Structure 1
C-alpha cells in the first residue's frame, strides 16, 4: 500500500459580521491532511471565528471553501462532519453531557442519528467501540464513568475521542493544552502525531508558542479579523510570530515595578478543605504577590476555592489584619474582603448571557442602588464604561453580551468586576489561561497596580515563567500540601518544577 493521498483544504475571502462587529474580513486559509497547522493571533483576531465557520457553527459568512479545489457547502455542523471536519472546543463543559457516561458522550453522534432510524441502541456496542477508541489513544478512563466525575484534562480527551470516532479528515483543536499538565500535553501530542500518520490534518489554535513550535508544521497568523501571514514554522521565530500578532515589536512582558511591602496581613495555619488540600501554612504581606505553583492536580484550584469559602468543610485558621475569618461561603468571603478570579471563567467567572455592564457591577450592586432598592442604570453604565476603558476591554459597547467577546476580553471582565469592590486579598487562579501575549501583559499590569495599592495577591498558575516574572515568593504545592516555600529572586523554573514533581 502506498501513502494516503494528501487532501487540500482551502478557505478563500471569508468574511462574517455580528451585530456591531466585523469579525472576519476576506480571510484566506490553506492546510493539508497529514500535517499540523498552527492558527494564532491575539484575542479577538478571529481565529476561533474562522474555525467556527469551517466547522459549520456559523453559517452566515461570505466567501468560499474548497476541498481539493472542489467547492463545498458548509452552513451547519452536519455539513462539516459529513466532510470529515471535526472541532474540539476550548470550553469542554459546554460540549459534553455531564450526566451521561464517557462512552455515551464519545458515541453521541451515532446515538442521536441511530435513534431517529430504529429507536434501539446497543449499549454494549457503544461501550465496546468507545473503549477501543480510548485504548487506541492510550487514555486510561473507563467508558462507564460519568463525565461529571472527570477532570478537565480527561474531558478534553473524551472530546477528541468523539471527534475521531467518525471519519475525520481535519481535526480542529481550540486551545487544547490550556487545561492539561505537562505529562497530559505530551500524551496529546503523541495522539496528534499518530493522527498525522493516519493522514488527518490537525489545526491547532493556541497561545502557547513553545508548544506550537514543537508540534506544528505550518503557521497562520491573524490580526483584527484579517489574514497576516502563512509560513512553514521552521521559517519563523517565536519573537517574529508575536510581532506579527501584535503588529509591533514586543516589549518586556512583565512590568518592572518596585513595590513597597508592608506588614503581614493575610495568613493561614493548618488550613484544609476537607478533601484535596491539607495543612496549608501561607502568609502574604501588604503589596506582596505570592505564587501558588504546582502541576495540574496539585490542589491549586482547590486551595483558591477553599480560601473563597467554597471548600467542603474548611478547617484551620485564616486571618486578615489579625482577625479570624469564617469562610463558609463565597458571600462571606466577599464581605470579609476576599476576591477570586476563577480558572474556568465561562463557568464560574462571568455570566456569559448577560451584558458587560451587568457582569462588571454584579458583585457590588448596592453601590448602584438608590435607597438600597432601585438600580441607577446611568451610574451603573458609567462605572462599566470606566472599567472598560481602564482595562482596555475590546467590546462594541457596554451592552454587548459577554459570550460575544474573545477569551482574553472575557477574562478582563472577570477581573474588572472585582475592581468595583474594595477587596484586601485578590486570588487569581490561572488568569492567563487561553489569553494572548497582549492581553497577558494587560493582566500583569493590572495585578501590579493592585499590589501598588497595598493589596495582597495570591497568584496560582502552572506557567512557571509567570511565577518567576510576577511573584515575590512562591509556595509549591504537591499532592494538596505545600512542598516548599521559595523566594522568587533566588529560584528558577527548574527548581520550582523539581518540587512540583515531588522532589525533596
Structure 2
C-alpha cells in the first residue's frame, strides 16, 4: 500500500521456552489512528516493546517508510521517530524540570543542541504546545505541578518536537476524566491531520469506535483480525479477542444459598466509586468483574475500611456495620485478601508461622506470651490443608513461590470465624496448579455458609467460580448476570463500556 507507514511482518519473540509472539503482523498508515486490542497476555505489549526498542525481535521484518529496520534500544527507535505515551506518565518525565525542559529532554540526551538558550527552549516548547491546542500549559511551570492529562500532552509535545512519525498510546485514558479524555482525542485528531500514525491500545471499546480508523486484534501471540472500525461491531471484536469460549474450570456445584448476609447500599468514595449497591447471601460467591481501572480494588478497600466510604452504608446480618478502619471490618466479620499480597497482605520476610497466626493473636496467646506450640500446630494445619510446598513452619515467605504465598495470605484468615471474605485478584501471578487449589479453598469457604466476593479482571475465572456476576465499569456496577446468563462475550462487552446491540439497528456507543 502506497500510504503504508509501518509494516511489521511475521514477528517472532521467544522468552526461554515460551513463545510470546508467533508470526504477529501489524500495519499502520500515515495519518491513521489504529487500535491494537487483545485480552491480557495476547502479545500486544510485547509487539509494541519490539517496535519501541525495548526488545529485539527473533524473527520477521519491520519496515518503516519503505526501509527495513531493527531497533536495538528505545533511543534507536526514537531516532527513527517512534515515541510512546504510557498510562504511567510519571515514569517518562523529570518532575523537577520545567515543562519546556521536559519537552526538549531527548534533544539534550542525544547530545545535540547542548547550548540552546532558555529563551529558545521556551519559544520552541510554546510553538509545539500551540500546535496541540494546549497553549494554556505554562512552559515555565515545573512538570510536577501539571495534572495527569497535561503531563500526557507534554509527552506528545516532546514527540512532535523530534518529528515523530509514530506515537504509541498505551491505555492513555485509564487515569483520565471524560473531559480530559475528550481533550486527548482532540489532540490525537490533530496529530492525524499532520500525518502522524497513532497506535491506540485500550480496553474501552466505545473509545475505540469513537476515535480509531482501524482495529487489529491479537490473541495468544498471533494477529487474528485487522479491519476498519466502520465495518465491524463491538460484538465481533469481543469474539475475535476471546476465540472459542473457555469451559468453566470448576463446573457446577450443588450447594445451599441462604439469606442475605451482606448488603451494600449506595457506596461512594468521593473519587472512583459512584453509588455502588449489591448484596451477598450465605454460601454465595459473587464475582465482581471489570477491566483495569474499573474500580474493583477501590471497592474492596472501601468495604474493608482502608479507604472509608464518603456516602452509603454497609449492613451485615441486617445490622449497620460502621467500617472506618480495617480493624472495624475484621470485628464486624469482613476480611480481605488484597491484590498486592507482598505489599499489603503478608510480612514477606517473616516466617510462615508468624504470617499464619497474625490475624488472631489472642487465640495463640497464654497470659502475656505467645504460645508457640499452638502457633506451629495451626501453621502445620494450613500447610497440609492448602498443600503449601514447604515442610517447615519457620520458612520465611520470601522463599515460597507466588502461589504458595497466596495460599498463606488466604489461609491465615481461617483462624477467625469471619462472615464475608473479599478476594481481590487472588490468582494473580500464580500457576494453574495453585489456581485450582485456591478455587477449591474458596469453594470450601462458601460451602460453610460464608459469603464470598471474588474481584477479578479474568473473565473465565469469574465464570468458573461465581454463583452470580456483577460487572463494573468506570466505578459503577453496570450489569448483573446469573451464572446461567453470563458469557465471556456479554461480560467483556459491558466491562468495556458497551451495551448489547439489537438486531433491528446497529449502533456504536460513544463516550460522552
Give the whole-Å Cα distance in 2 for the aligned partners of 1:9 and 1:52.
15
Identify which of 222, 226, 230 aligns with 1:226.
222
- Counterparts of 1:137-286 in structure 2 under 5 Å? 137-139=132-134, 142-143=138-139, 152-248=148-244, 262-263=259-260, 265=262, 286=281
SS of alignment partner, residue 35 of structure 2: strand
For structure 2, the residue ranges without an aligned partner over 5 or more in a row are 358-381, 384-389, 411-424, 483-498, 501-511
Deviations 1:57-99 (A, max 9, x none): 1125332211232222311111111111111224434334455
**Alpha-carbon shift at residue 152 of structure 1 (Å):** 4.7
Structure whose CA Rg is larger: 2
Give the whole-Å Cα distance in 2 for the aligned partners of 1:23 and 1:64.
16
Report if the CA contact (8 A) 2:286-2:452 is conserved.
Answer: no
Give the whole-Å Cα distance in 2 for the aligned partners of 1:340 and 1:395.
14
User: Aligned in 2, Cα 1:385/1:70: closer, same or farther, shift over 3 Å?
Assistant: farther
1:469 is aligned to 2:463:
no
- Counterparts of 1:448-487 in structure 2 under 5 Å? 448-449=466-467, 461-462=473-474, 467-469=478-480
Other-structure match for 1:26: 23
User: Aligned in 2, Cα 1:187/1:385: closer, same or farther, shift over 3 Å?
Assistant: same
Report if the CA contact (8 A) 1:338-1:425 is conserved.
Answer: no
Identify which of 35, 40, 48 aligns with 1:38.
35
**Alpha-carbon shift at residue 309 of structure 1 (Å):** 4.5
1:373 is aligned to 2:394:
yes
User: Aligned in 2, Cα 1:311/1:245: closer, same or farther, shift over 3 Å?
Assistant: closer
Report the count of equivalent residues: 418
User: Aligned in 2, Cα 1:227/1:281: closer, same or farther, shift over 3 Å?
Assistant: closer
SS of alignment partner, residue 468 of structure 1: strand
User: Aligned in 2, Cα 1:130/1:311: closer, same or farther, shift over 3 Å?
Assistant: farther
Q: CA RMSD in A?
A: 5.6
Report if the CA contact (8 A) 1:134-1:161 is conserved.
Answer: yes
Report if the CA contact (8 A) 2:262-2:314 is conserved.
Answer: no
Deviations 1:239-278 (A, max 9, x none): 22222222236999xx999995734646799x998x8799
Report if the CA contact (8 A) 1:304-1:427 is conserved.
Answer: no
Other-structure match for 1:474: none
Q: Which moved more, 1:40-49 or 1:98-107?
A: 98-107
Give the whole-Å Cα distance in 2 for the aligned partners of 1:305 and 1:148.
27
Other-structure match for 1:80: 77
Give the whole-Å Cα distance in 1 for the aligned partners of 2:429 and 2:296.
31
SS of alignment partner, residue 183 of structure 1: helix
**Alpha-carbon shift at residue 199 of structure 1 (Å):** 0.4
User: Aligned in 2, Cα 1:378/1:170: closer, same or farther, shift over 3 Å?
Assistant: closer
Q: Which moved more, 1:64-73 or 1:75-84?
A: 64-73
SS of alignment partner, residue 14 of structure 1: strand
Deviations 1:116-170 (A, max 9, x none): 945x873x65555545544543455555666556655454444334333421111
For structure 1, the residue ranges without an aligned partner over 5 or more in a row are 343-348, 401-411, 433-438, 472-491, 494-500
Report if the CA contact (8 A) 2:287-2:466 is conserved.
Answer: no
**Alpha-carbon shift at residue 443 of structure 1 (Å):** 5.5
